[in-house]
Amino acid sequence: MSFWSDKTILITGGAGFFGSQIVNQLLQKGVLRENIRIPRSRDTDLRKWDNCVRVTRDIDIVIHLAAKVGGIGFNQAYPAQLFYDNAIMGIQMIEAARQEPVDKCVIVGTICAYPKFTPVPFKEDDLWTGYPEETNAPYGLAKKMLLVQSQAYRQEYGFNSIYLLPVNLYGPGDNFDPSSSHVIPALIKKFTDAKWENKPFVDVWGTGKASREFLYVDDAARGIILATERYNKPDPVNLGAGMEITIRDLVALIQELTGYSGEIRWDTTKPDGQPKRSLDVSRAQREFGFEAQMPFREGLERTIAWYEEHREVAGRPHDAEDQC
């Protein structure tokens, strides 16, 4: 608690799926609720410079999560918005935090920043060995520029900004809006709804050959807090679970856990996205003692149970910058 004592913390995106878990864990550590500031996108557009200046005033620590995000279809439909909104929010937040100045700025990047054909497991040193997968390149590159900015600001201004790369997150409270959800909530919604509505088949994008790694949201929040407390270096750090699963195996597992008995139809005209994703997580363990704890099957069971309980409202649209 000594690290957090008397500190005022700004968490952009703090009302969203990921941010709310960080807030909960900070409250459990004894941080006072009045010391946590959470700007909401409907009231505070972080694409506007004056708002970034205002929200960083009298702040000790900035944790920048706010982002416009989505799955493959969303990335294909809105590449310009994904590039501009994520780049301008991050660039201005870092500059406003430097001018304040805040004591520390924690930037949450994205696994989409890695090159399309990064050797598995992804090592942080491979970030610049190629171009990202095309369907998510505008988003990935926008967030990747914040790493460049963080390192440049440390070099020129001595500004303590760190950069973290969480893998795909999942868990209770995820975004189940089909227009912008990621693969796990999208599949959970499809199979659960198909079971309830007695649909004979479920359509799934791609071939199923691509692989992904997933990190339970509570684990990810703990990783962010540990890094904020203990890490003060320019090098980016992966946050992951150290596992890998193909989309085909993921689909089979979610079908089993939801109890859906119908047919799966693979739409191979749709893209797979990046061929493989799995992280080397040794730097996070070495630098600030982070290791994932939630078993993947149990995490999925909890997420499915949450969706089944909140099914009527879970698929509603999210505020764009509150999704993280």
Q: Which DSSP string corresponds to 53-88? A: HHHHTT-SEEEE-------HHHHHH-HHHHHHHHHH
CA distance 323 to 119: 29
Identify the CA nearest to 166 among candidates 102, 222, 231.
Answer: 222
Burial 9-43 (b: 16+ CB within 10 A, else e): bbbbbbbbbbbbbbbeebeeeebeeebbbbbebee
Is 139 labeled as catalytic in the residue annotation? yes
The CA-CA-CA angle for residues 179, 180, 185, to 5°, reads 100
3-state secondary structure at position 268 = coil
Q: Which DSSP string corresponds to 172-215? A: TT----TTT--HHHHHHHHHHHHHHTT-SEEEEES-S--EE-EE
Are the beta carbons of 17 and 174 closer than 8 angstroms? yes
Are the beta carbons of 170 and 304 closer than 8 angstroms? no
What's CA 81's distance to the chain center, in Å? 18
Q: Which residues contact 122 (CB under 8 A, 6 or more apart)?
A: 111, 114, 238, 277, 278, 279, 280
Report the Cα–Cα distance between both ends of the chain, in Å, rounded.
25
Q: Which DSSP string corresponds to 108-158? A: E--GGGSBTTPPSSB-GGGTTSSPBPGGGHHHHHHHHHHHHHHHHHHHHH-
Of 114, 139, 163, 231, the catalytic one is: 139
Active-site residues: which are they? 139
